[in-house]
Structure 1
Amino acid sequence: MSSPDQKADPLPVAAEADTDASALEKAPETPPAATATSSSDEREIRGIRWFLICLALYVSALMYGLDTTIAADVQGAVVGTFADDVAQLAWIGAGFPLGSVAAVLPYGFLFTAFNMKWLYVAGIVLFQAGSALCGAAPSMGALVVGRVLAGVGGTGIYLGGLNHFSAMTTRRERSVYLTGTGFVWGVGAILGPVAGGGFSVSPATWRWGFYINLVIGALTAPIYLFCLPSIDPAPGKSLRERAAALDYLGFVLSAATWVFFAVGFVFAGGRWAWDDGRSITFVVLFGVLLASYTLQQYFCIFTTPDTRSFPGHLLRSRTQVLLYITTSCANAAMFFTTFYIPIYFQFTRSDDSLMAAVRLLPFLLVLITFNLATGWALPKIGYYMPVCLVSGAIMTLAAALFLGYLSPTTPPAYIYGFSVLMGVGSGITMQLGYAVASLKVSRPADVFGAINMQNIAQIGATVICLVVAGQAFQTSAVRNLDAALAGRGYSRAQLQAMVSGTESALFDSLSGELRAKVIDAVVAAMRRAFVIPLVAGAVSIVSAVLMRRERLFA
């Protein structure tokens, strides 16, 4: 058994460099270590203590996966509770990944400088606080704040699990434990809609979809506090030296850019008109912040090439950029399908939240199966470019089928088939970039930067997809409803309430031909919104074609 306090060994030599290495000659010489990794051939922690640590870390990853997708099937129930504020509905899904992506860069760097155990515990505390606020939310605004806070904590949980397994395992077994983290997250993502739907239709209500995290957290808290070792990723450095190395300005600009993007594009066209001064202000400030962050990173203002928050030198690598695009496209297609298929069945088949979630299971099961199968098969195939190409082609085909055949009368078997195709396509590459990007770096120390880019691609794509899709769907649906119900005296707010879901009181009051018109208008808007995963699939194909035809290993 190890002592309670561990010190990290240097990062082991990584795999093959990207053949774009010559383009990286200006990269920093000594960036921070990727993780506090153990180079020992024998794991120090064993027995029951190791079992409990693994159990706690994996259960936390499961919670993170649950909250990633749970919003897909509680939206209708939430609208039933907060019927007067449906303009913020997109925040239920987008708030959680927004908190995650805003925190991923600072949290990732903190794990290279400060005690990993207490950073992980802080993530757990933030996640539980956000969950408690969501469960007790007296308004939609409070629910959104809770989702964002839980997203910030979720980043600490996910990155903390990866860093702890990297630090505590041997080189031979490390990939197994890291893959296990992705697998458990996937199981949570599968169970999320089902859990959300189940609670929504039960006497416990949707609120227990968030309260359940508190129960799980209470059961595992003793393990975090008493079994998890304290690991110092930067031994020999003073607190002042560690704090001075952080890119504070970069962290603030990065988080602010994501926040202003999400706020501007969720509220514009919904709560605020597009020509409203607030919409214009937020969209303009988003552009200004993005430009400011880009310039701050490029010229290393109040930071250095070694410590800047975004690994900009990796953008000179064609492979890293194309893998970033591929991961973004796969996750955009995956999350779009996860959130909009339940809505389709709720409108067209009058499903309750639980049944709509059950109908999503074929997609989610195939998604996680192909995600795991790709991890197993990729080393045997030896080439990543054809795998990415197949993924993009299947995603494009699935989105095209949705775009061509989605209607209120489409047989459920067709929807299942199209969803399964989307699960195959997006499952292949949703996490493939992590394995390939970490291998195709010029120096071992760049592994951290490559993984950080993949984190941003995965979580950032979720935010962008849900915000853009929510904006496109609601705008198109309200326009369709306005035309279908012209002359009947419905206000814009009432039309938005109809779009929000079948648990809207106004939708429930409709019957006969009028109800059919509303369903036709909503499904037509949803079908048009499938242009988003169609574009994602097409871009993924182009990205794959531009990749190098090289072996995964030398």
Structure 2
Amino acid sequence: MSGSASVPVTAGRVAWGTPAARWMLTATVLGSGMAFLDSTVVTVALPAIQGDLDTGLAGLQWIVNGYMVTLSALILLSGSLSDRFGRVRLFMVGVAVFALASALCTFAPTLEWLVAGRVLQGVGGALLTPGSLAILQAGFREDDRARAIGAWSGLTGVAAAVGPFMGGWLVQIGDWRLIFLINLPIAVVVLLIAWFKVPESRDVTAAQRLDYSGALLGVVALAGITYALIQWGAVGGTPAVWTAVAVGVLALAAFLFAEARSSSPMLPLGIFRSLPFSVTNAATVLIYGSLGPLLFLLVIYLQEVSGYSPIAAGAASLPITVLMLLLSARSGELAARIGPRLQLVVGPLLLAAGFWLLSRLTEDAPYLTGVLPGVLLVALGLATTVAPLTATVLASAPERHAGLASGVNNTFARGAQLIGVAAVPVLAGIGGSSGGASGADGDASALADGFGTAMLILVVLCVLASLCALLLPRGGMPEAAEAADRGSPPEGASSPEPLDRAQPPRFCGVSGPPLRSCPGSTAGSGADDPLSE
């Protein structure tokens, strides 16, 4: 027996093409793919859940955001935990927690139980997702890492693309609960492979003090602000809503204060002294803050207002994933040649144009002429933007903090999606009702009236992201500023192994940027790569 059941073996010894490599790739792809698949199938099933659990739009927002709250707040901490306690061990804990949470979602009798399961799924997702890439980074030989992570990225991208079809199919042939039940056998297979076949690794220099207080304050801040935004749309400015606002804002202020004073901060604030790093993260917040509401509202609109079947509604946004799979590597290569500034200016404008077209969507608009043009522009905008955005974030931070920089960017992206899903419906007048048949009908009517306004709000966010990119220097990739390094963790803190950041990203998921690296096709392509371009 190897792996987590025995003494950790030396990392970096696994060669591409060997049985050990195949076992390692299988475990990490299945584990991450389970989380990625779940994030897409749940959105497709929301109208079915709404009817079964008798809830309004506010309840659907919590089903999405319950997962995102814990995932966003715990990702950075989980990376440090895996370095300290063992990457395979934390990965297995994450898979087990995700499976238990999926079982809770499967048998949830009420909305409250389902949201509780989604919150627990976020904890599992935060533990297993960064662990997947960390296992590959530490386990493969240096010459084979880019190929291994490239295969992981492409295969998990396929899982994200399959999700809408599978979710719609499961909802149509059976019950929405099946979308959670399918996680259980996958989790069992992953745990068996990880226990018996995947070698353990850890960072012996990892910091002994971990920022648990920062993680707790982050959860409270996100939960308080999200609760206030969702409930404002549902019930208005009640004392409970204002209390949540106060708790969220105070927790956010306490989080920033704690991170500034901590000797081992989860989020070293000094890294933001780099202007390119700060600018690209601001653009990330605006771009993913618009993407989250689009994916949430469009699939509900198509089913509840336009009468699409679950499969058809899920497939409507498939061009986004397909074009990102096809074009992200080329977009990264272009950014490496000409610099990221032009693409980060033009890409958000393409997104804005797509959202503007979707704002004109009518109830009876055919897919090919009403929905597809806007979706294609959104897809082209993301394919133009995401790869250079990720590469710029990595290039703007010191080399030894590439993992930290990518983790921060991913946290910002997921947090922005969380806030966007909560805030945009409120701003557009699409309020959540208290439930019941009339409540569901009221939500559909409000969605029909407010969908165009919501898309116009997303247009504004993307134009602001384009303006942010104008602050980037012209020319090639920015270099890491020394000032950013002064805010780094103290000596002995966990740091990832250096990454080859010259490689353009191959595929970065729609739901968020990569947590460690998003490798390029240059080093990871070829006949042996199952998804080579």
Aligned partners of 2:286 and 2:396: how far apart in 1? 20
One-letter code aligned to 2:449? A
Q: Aligned pair in 2 of structure 1 residues 81, 351: CA closer, same or farther (>3 Å)?
A: same
Aligned partners of 1:8 and 1:457: how far apart in 2? 33
Q: What's 2:212 paired with?
A: 248
So what's the TM-score if we normalise by structure 2?
0.83
Q: Aligned pair in 2 of structure 1 residues 182, 429: CA closer, same or farther (>3 Å)?
A: farther
Stretch of structure 1 that moved more, 77-86 or 47-56: 77-86
Deviation at 1:372, TM superposition (A): 4.1
State whether residues 97 and 151 of structure 1, in contact with CA within 8 Å, keep that contact through their aligned partners in structure 2: yes
State whether residues 355 and 455 of structure 2, in contact with CA within 8 Å, keep that contact through their aligned partners in structure 1: yes
Equivalent pairs, count: 476
Q: What's 1:266 paired with?
A: 230
Q: What's 2:281 paired with?
A: 324
State whether residues 342 and 356 of structure 1, in contact with CA within 8 Å, keep that contact through their aligned partners in structure 2: yes
State whether residues 57 and 432 of structure 2, in contact with CA within 8 Å, keep that contact through their aligned partners in structure 1: no
Stretch of structure 1 that moved more, 432-441 or 125-134: 432-441
Aligned partners of 1:424 and 1:499: how far apart in 2? 34
Aligned partners of 1:160 and 1:63: how far apart in 2? 14
State whether residues 196 and 209 of structure 1, in contact with CA within 8 Å, keep that contact through their aligned partners in structure 2: yes
Q: How does 1:434-449 map to 2 (within 5 A)?
A: 434-441=390-397, 443-449=398-404
Q: What's 2:241 paired with?
A: 279
Q: Aligned pair in 2 of structure 1 residues 523, 477: CA closer, same or farther (>3 Å)?
A: farther
Q: How does 1:140-539 map to 2 (within 5 A)?
A: 140-203=111-174, 205-234=175-204, 242-243=207-208, 245-270=209-234, 272-274=235-237, 276-298=238-260, 300=261, 303-304=262-263, 307-379=264-336, 381-403=337-359, 405-413=360-368, 414-430=370-386, 432-441=388-397, 443-473=398-428, 475-476=429-430, 496-500=439-443, 518=445, 522-539=447-464
1:75-110 CA distances to partner (integer Å, 9 max, x unpaired)? Answer: 111012111565412112222222210211221221
Counterpart of 1:74 in 2: which secondary structure? helix
Deviation at 1:493, TM superposition (A): 6.2
Counterpart of 1:230 in 2: which secondary structure? coil
Aligned partners of 2:393 and 2:270: how far apart in 1? 14
1:504-538 CA distances to partner (integer Å, 9 max, x unpaired)? Answer: xxxxxxxxxxxxxx4xx532301111133212211
One-letter code aligned to 1:170? R
Which of 1 and 2 has greater Rg?
1
Structure 2: give runs of 5+ residues left out of the alignment: 480-533
Counterpart of 2:266 in 1: which secondary structure? coil
Stretch of structure 1 that moved more, 141-150 or 337-346: 337-346
Aligned partners of 1:115 and 1:220: how far apart in 2? 17
Aligned partners of 1:397 and 1:366: how far apart in 2? 17
State whether residues 407 and 524 of structure 1, in contact with CA within 8 Å, keep that contact through their aligned partners in structure 2: no
Aligned partners of 1:492 and 1:74: how far apart in 2? 17
Counterpart of 2:233 in 1: which secondary structure? coil
State whether residues 55 and 439 of structure 2, in contact with CA within 8 Å, keep that contact through their aligned partners in structure 1: no
One-letter code aligned to 1:273? G
Aligned partners of 2:454 and 2:242: how far apart in 1? 24
1:226-261 CA distances to partner (integer Å, 9 max, x unpaired)? Answer: 1111112126x8xxxx54x11222222112111212
State whether residues 7 and 232 of structure 1, in contact with CA within 8 Å, keep that contact through their aligned partners in structure 2: no
Deviation at 1:202, TM superposition (A): 1.0
Q: 1:108 aligns with which of 75, 79, 91?
A: 79
Stretch of structure 1 that moved more, 169-178 or 539-548: 169-178
Counterpart of 2:316 in 1: which secondary structure? helix
Q: Aligned pair in 2 of structure 1 residues 44, 174: CA closer, same or farther (>3 Å)?
A: closer
Aligned partners of 1:67 and 1:116: how far apart in 2? 22
Counterpart of 1:138 in 2: which secondary structure? coil
Q: Aligned pair in 2 of structure 1 residues 176, 319: CA closer, same or farther (>3 Å)?
A: farther
Aligned partners of 1:55 and 1:273: how far apart in 2? 48
Aligned partners of 2:34 and 2:71: how far apart in 1? 14
Q: Aligned pair in 2 of structure 1 residues 126, 375: CA closer, same or farther (>3 Å)?
A: farther
Mapped pair 1:65 → 2:36: yes
Q: Aligned pair in 2 of structure 1 residues 78, 348: CA closer, same or farther (>3 Å)?
A: closer
Q: What's 1:30 paired with?
A: none
Structure 1: give runs of 5+ residues left out of the alignment: 10-37, 480-490, 502-517
Aligned partners of 1:464 and 1:218: how far apart in 2? 33
Counterpart of 1:231 in 2: which secondary structure? coil
Q: Aligned pair in 2 of structure 1 residues 544, 430: CA closer, same or farther (>3 Å)?
A: same
So what's the TM-score if we normalise by structure 1?
0.80
State whether residues 329 and 537 of structure 1, in contact with CA within 8 Å, keep that contact through their aligned partners in structure 2: yes
Deviation at 1:418, TM superposition (A): 0.7
State whether residues 370 and 427 of structure 1, in contact with CA within 8 Å, keep that contact through their aligned partners in structure 2: yes
Q: Aligned pair in 2 of structure 1 residues 104, 161: CA closer, same or farther (>3 Å)?
A: same
Q: Aligned pair in 2 of structure 1 residues 499, 375: CA closer, same or farther (>3 Å)?
A: farther
Aligned partners of 2:303 and 2:391: how far apart in 1? 38
State whether residues 371 and 430 of structure 1, in contact with CA within 8 Å, keep that contact through their aligned partners in structure 2: yes
Stretch of structure 1 that moved more, 334-343 or 157-166: 334-343
Aligned partners of 2:89 and 2:190: how far apart in 1? 15
State whether residues 199 and 209 of structure 1, in contact with CA within 8 Å, keep that contact through their aligned partners in structure 2: yes
Q: How does 1:24-35 map to 2 (within 5 A)?
A: none
Deviation at 1:382, TM superposition (A): 4.1
Q: Aligned pair in 2 of structure 1 residues 429, 448: CA closer, same or farther (>3 Å)?
A: same
State whether residues 87 and 496 of structure 1, in contact with CA within 8 Å, keep that contact through their aligned partners in structure 2: no
One-letter code aligned to 1:351? Y
1:474-521 CA distances to partner (integer Å, 9 max, x unpaired)? Answer: x34679xxxxxxxxxxx99665321445xxxxxxxxxxxxxxxx4xx5
State whether residues 229 and 423 of structure 2, in contact with CA within 8 Å, keep that contact through their aligned partners in structure 1: yes
One-letter code aligned to 2:465? S
Deviation at 1:45, TM superposition (A): 7.8
Q: Aligned pair in 2 of structure 1 residues 370, 334: CA closer, same or farther (>3 Å)?
A: farther
State whether residues 87 and 267 of structure 1, in contact with CA within 8 Å, keep that contact through their aligned partners in structure 2: yes
Deviation at 1:149, TM superposition (A): 1.0
Stretch of structure 1 that moved more, 102-111 or 128-137: 102-111
Q: What is the alpha-carbon root mean square deviation over aligned residues?
A: 2.6
State whether residues 56 and 436 of structure 2, in contact with CA within 8 Å, keep that contact through their aligned partners in structure 1: no
Aligned partners of 2:396 and 2:431: how far apart in 1? 44
1:204-239 CA distances to partner (integer Å, 9 max, x unpaired)? Answer: x1101011011111223211111111112126x8xx
1:388-435 CA distances to partner (integer Å, 9 max, x unpaired)? Answer: 1121121111122223x2222433223101111001112333354333
Aligned partners of 1:344 and 1:286: how far apart in 2? 30
State whether residues 233 and 432 of structure 2, in contact with CA within 8 Å, keep that contact through their aligned partners in structure 1: no
Counterpart of 2:83 in 1: which secondary structure? coil
Aligned partners of 2:147 and 2:345: how far apart in 1? 26
Aligned partners of 1:197 and 1:67: how far apart in 2? 12
Q: Percent identity?
A: 22
